[in-house]
């Protein structure tokens, strides 16, 4: 497979392009810890290198998800990589490789590390975590651009309405991801009236989870939303095993798997959509793919 690193062409073009493309691989969050210090030449470090390179190759080959365990006893190391369900193999491979580079700079000789990007996440540990459904190492983010405030009666009404719509969207998208998708991934949109015409949402579990396990994982994130995302016009909760995100602009590739409401309902009472979302069929419930 021919895969081009994000800044490769930029050497010959302009820095602007490089910055733009590499921003897709900005670290959202990383955490590393060491229960012991590994040296560059230890068996553990050797196993780690072997693990990372297998994760990259296999995840790209297996459409975005792979786990592996290398070595034995104290030098055993397990890893997991997950690419966002809508990204293609070049973006997935570039993102995973970027994570190796970043981890070797930020977490040298760590026995355990987790790193999140827009398009992928990676976790490795000397603890065997692959047979667990634990979704710890969670991080949440809101969009800095705006929160509907509690400063007037109409704002409070607008905020409650917005929160409800976000919840309706992400509950439905999470159901779709858990019970009606091929790889635990689904996207959706909901038409609203205020403050913007459309909310975009995404839910994902690692595809090794059963439907019920995936749903339970996402439900735990949904339960946190009222306290995390009160009125925020975008947000995400990232975990190693499942994650969700919503925005008031399109941020995923391809048609949404789920559409709630319609443009006409929304525009009857509110704003006209400035930018109709990509869509092939109304109330589409095609399988996430």
Ligand X SMILES: *[C@@H]1O[C@H](CO)[C@@H](O)[C@H](O)[C@H]1NC(C)=O
Point out which residues bind ligand X (CB under 6 A). Answer: 3, 5, 34, 36-37, 39-41, 53, 56-57, 88, 90-91, 93-94, 97, 128, 131-132, 150, 230, 253
120 or 186: whose CB is closer to ligand X?
Answer: 120
Shortest distance, position 179 Cβ to ligand X, whole Å:
24
56 or 203: whose CB is closer to ligand X?
Answer: 56
Shortest distance, position 162 Cβ to ligand X, whole Å:
13
How far is 215 from 221, CA to CA, in rounded Å?
A: 10
159 or 245: whose CB is closer to ligand X?
Answer: 159
Shortest distance, position 103 Cβ to ligand X, whole Å:
13
131 or 262: whose CB is closer to ligand X?
Answer: 131
The residue number whose beta carbon is nearest to ligand X equals 3
Shortest distance, position 181 Cβ to ligand X, whole Å:
20
Shortest distance, position 262 Cβ to ligand X, whole Å:
27
């Amino acid at each position: 497979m021919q895969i081009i690193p994000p800044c490769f062409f930029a050497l010959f073009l302009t820095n602007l392009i490089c910055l733009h493309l590499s921003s897709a691989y900005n670290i959202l969050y990383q955490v590393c810890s060491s229960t012991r210090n590994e040296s560059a030449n230890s068996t553990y470090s050797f196993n780690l290198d072997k693990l990372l390179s297998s994760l990259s190759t296999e995840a790209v080959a297996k459409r975005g998800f792979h786990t592996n365990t290398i070595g034995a006893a104290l030098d055993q190391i397990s890893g997991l990589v997950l690419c966002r369900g809508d990204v293609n193999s070049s973006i997935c491979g570039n993102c995973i490789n970027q994570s190796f580079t970043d981890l070797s700079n930020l977490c040298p000789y760590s026995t355990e590390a987790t790193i999140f990007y827009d398009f992928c996440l990676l976790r490795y540990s000397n603890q065997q975590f692959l047979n667990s459904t634990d979704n710890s190492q969670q991080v949440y983010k809101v969009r800095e651009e705006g929160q509907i405030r509690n400063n007037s009666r109409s704002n409070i009404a607008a905020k409650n309405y917005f929160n409800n719509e976000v919840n309706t969207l992400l509950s439905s998208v999470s159901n779709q991801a858990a019970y009606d998708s091929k790889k635990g991934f689904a996207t959706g949109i909901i038409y609203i009236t205020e403050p913007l015409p459309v909310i975009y949402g995404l839910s994902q579990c690692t595809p090794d989870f059963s439907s019920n396990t995936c749903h339970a994982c996402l439900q735990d994130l949904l339960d946190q939303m009222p306290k995390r995302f009160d009125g925020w016009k975008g947000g995400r909760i990232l975990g190693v095993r499942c994650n969700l995100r919503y925005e008031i602009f399109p941020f995923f590739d391809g048609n949404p798997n789920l559409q709630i409401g319609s443009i006409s309902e929304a525009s009857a009472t509110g704003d006209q959509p400035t930018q109709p979302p990509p869509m092939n069929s109304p109330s589409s419930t095609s399988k996430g793919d």
